[in-house]
Amino acid sequence: MKSKSTLIVGLTWGDEAKGKIVDLLAAEHHIVVRYNGGNNAGHTVAFDGETYKLHLVPSGLFHKNATCVIGGGVVVDPKVLLEEIARHEGKAVRLRQRLLVSSRAHTIWPWHKLVEALSEKHQGKGKIGTTLRGIGPAYADKANRVHAIRLGEFLRPEHLWKKVERIVEDRNLVFTKVFGEAGLDAAAVWQEYAAYGEAIRPMIADTTAYLLGAVEKGKRILFEGAQGTLLDIDHGTYPYVTSSNASAAGAWPGTGVPARAIGEILGVVKAYTTRVGEGPFPTELKDALGDQIREQGHEYGTTTGRPRRCGWLDTFAIRYAARLNGIDGIVITLLDVLGKLPELKVCTGYKVGGRTLKEFPDDPAALQEAQPILESLEPWTEDISGARSFKELPRATRAYVKRVEEIIGAPVRMISVGPDREQTIFRP
Ligand code: IMP
């Protein structure tokens, strides 16, 4: 029998409004699980006139019957996790009883944030433009093993204190001797983090065992990807990527659930494309049109408040991401934002050195040079935020959606025309 589980993944550089989609679909699932990234993510959920910003807790938290799981592929900043639980537990019924955090998840500590800040500063123009949340250094430690701390180690405080003391001693050599900075105080760090560990302890679980059991019982699981496919460490626009598998490929290692137990994969794109941080972005509009999209779409980072770079919908990049993830359908968000633009274009391919590329480039230098091949489509001026069915949309809007489907080669299954749950069009 085909699994009834669903995976939601961003097809571009993140910020595709996946939070809204996960919140909507959570109503039809028993479990919502985050599989990658950490609090570099910013997911927004809006209903009943209120807006909620999430970074670490799965976007299913407002559905009282859903169990929320933070999988082992996520890097957890314990302080941020506790703050986020405290901020939302008034609205998210019995959240502490419904939230499980993997004992295998790696943790973010003050030395990760400090080393990232120093390194990004030191790189100057060559920086990645990270969110400075310690994500990269925490994943680097995971791969390097020696200084890594998994959440499960909080269950053995005596062992962990000794480990923290040793790590701080090693790290302080780098902070003081290489960067000429003051080092960290191991005892002070431990005092703070031991308290976080105690508070999180009841939520720490072998989530792999839990999820495998859930699969066997036929439970419906919703996999929530953070960031987007083009930020995937292996398949994205390296080195301007995040440090985890932000494509659907991250779900298996990030949860322990085998890929074949995932039923349907929905790829989320905005009706235009954005990017935060450094790195190539072929369809970027560095003019008044780009500014107009930014203002109409409120394109400022949920996590860092940085203005997002805005540009035309890059269907060439999206088609690559769609194939890579093996998507079954597309979700288009923020379609309302495109109304009132004087012109409308989509990118259908790239030219590098006068040559039209067949495939999305694997070489960052080629991507940097890529000139987008743009196709003009008819713009619309109507306000579509009140539309609740496809046929209520203006003809030009429907033509835009159909053209996107045609180029990407997958059906558009949901369209979001505003931040609220209600502002959604479902297509069979
Ligand atoms: P890091 O994930 O903080 O290491 O940042 C690496 C790159 O990914 C930077 O360009 C960030 O701006 C970008 N990034 C990380 N998380 C998100 C996200 O949730 N949305 C959009 N971009 C992100």
Q: What is the mean pLDDT of residues 180-192?
A: 96
Mutate to test the pocket of ligand 1, among 131, 232, 273 (most ligand atoms within 8 A of CB): 131
Specify the ligand 1 atom closest to the Cα of 135: 4
Residue nearest to atom 2 of ligand 1 (CA): 242
- Residue pair 291/330 in contact (Cβ under 8 Å)? The answer is no
Per cent of the chain over pLDDT 90 is 95
Residue nearest to atom 10 of ligand 1 (CA): 277
Mean pLDDT of the chain: 96
- Going by pLDDT thresholds of 50, 70 and 90, the confidence category of residue 2 is low
Q: pLDDT at residue 1 above 50?
A: no
Mutate to test the pocket of ligand 1, among 276, 300, 302, 308 (most ligand atoms within 8 A of CB): 276
Q: How far is Cα of residue 186 from the mean position of the Cα atoms in its chain?
A: 32
Q: pLDDT at residue 273 above 50?
A: yes
Specify the ligand 1 atom closest to the Cα of 40: 16
Distance 130 CA to ligand 1 centre (A): 6
Q: Write the burial class of residue 178 (CB in 10 Å: 0-12 exposed, 13-18 middle, 19+ buried).
A: exposed
Tens digit of each residue's pLDDT (9 = 90 or more) over 292-301: 999 999 999 8
Residue nearest to atom 19 of ligand 1 (CA): 41
Tens digit of each residue's pLDDT (9 = 90 or more) over 54-63: 999 999 999 9
Ligand 1 binding pocket (C-beta < 6 A) is: 13-15, 40-42, 128-131, 133, 135-136, 226-227, 231, 240, 242-243, 276-277
Distance 197 CA to ligand 1 centre (A): 26
Which SS3 state, helix, strand or coil, does residue 384 take?
Answer: coil
Q: What is the mean pLDDT of residues 371-394?
A: 97
Q: Which helix (H) or strand (E) holds 37?
A: none
Mutate to test the pocket of ligand 1, among 224, 230, 231 (most ligand atoms within 8 A of CB): 231
- The predicted pLDDT at position 126 comes to 87
Tens digit of each residue's pLDDT (9 = 90 or more) over 139-173: 999 999 999 999 999 999 999 999 999 999 999 99
DSSP 6-25: EEEEESSSS-S-HHHHHHHH
Catalytic positions = 15, 43
How far is the C-alpha of 383 from the C-alpha of 156, rounded, in Å? 57
Q: pLDDT at residue 283 above 90?
A: yes
- The predicted pLDDT at position 106 comes to 98
- Compute the radius of gyration of the chain from its Cα atoms: 22
Distance 428 CA to ligand 1 centre (A): 33
Q: From 152, 148, 178, select the one nearest 163 (Cα to Cα).
A: 148
Q: pLDDT at residue 256 above 60?
A: yes
Q: pLDDT at residue 132 above 70?
A: yes
Distance 304 CA to ligand 1 centre (A): 10
Q: pLDDT at residue 401 above 70?
A: yes
Per cent of the chain over pLDDT 70 is 100
- The predicted pLDDT at position 340 comes to 87
Q: What is the mean pLDDT of residues 239-251?
A: 97
Residue nearest to atom 15 of ligand 1 (CA): 40
Distance 116 CA to ligand 1 centre (A): 13
Distance 226 CA to ligand 1 centre (A): 10
Mutate to test the pocket of ligand 1, among 242, 270, 302 (most ligand atoms within 8 A of CB): 242
Tens digit of each residue's pLDDT (9 = 90 or more) over 82-105: 999 999 999 999 999 999 999 999
Residue nearest to atom 11 of ligand 1 (CA): 130
Tens digit of each residue's pLDDT (9 = 90 or more) over 35-55: 999 999 999 999 999 999 999
Specify the ligand 1 atom closest to the Cα of 279: 10
Specify the ligand 1 atom closest to the Cα of 276: 12
- The predicted pLDDT at position 330 comes to 98
- The predicted pLDDT at position 156 comes to 97
Q: Write the burial class of residue 107 (CB in 10 Å: 0-12 exposed, 13-18 middle, 19+ buried).
A: buried
- The predicted pLDDT at position 31 comes to 98
Which SS3 state, helix, strand or coil, does residue 63 take?
Answer: coil
Give the burial string for 355-381 (b: 16+ CB within 10 Å, else e): eeeeebbeeeebbeebebeeeebebbe
Distance 166 CA to ligand 1 centre (A): 30
Helices of type H across 201-308 = 207-216, 251-255, 288-296
Q: Treating both helix axes as pointing N-terminal to C-terminal, what angle do 157-173 and 186-200 enclose, rounded to 10 degrees?
A: 140
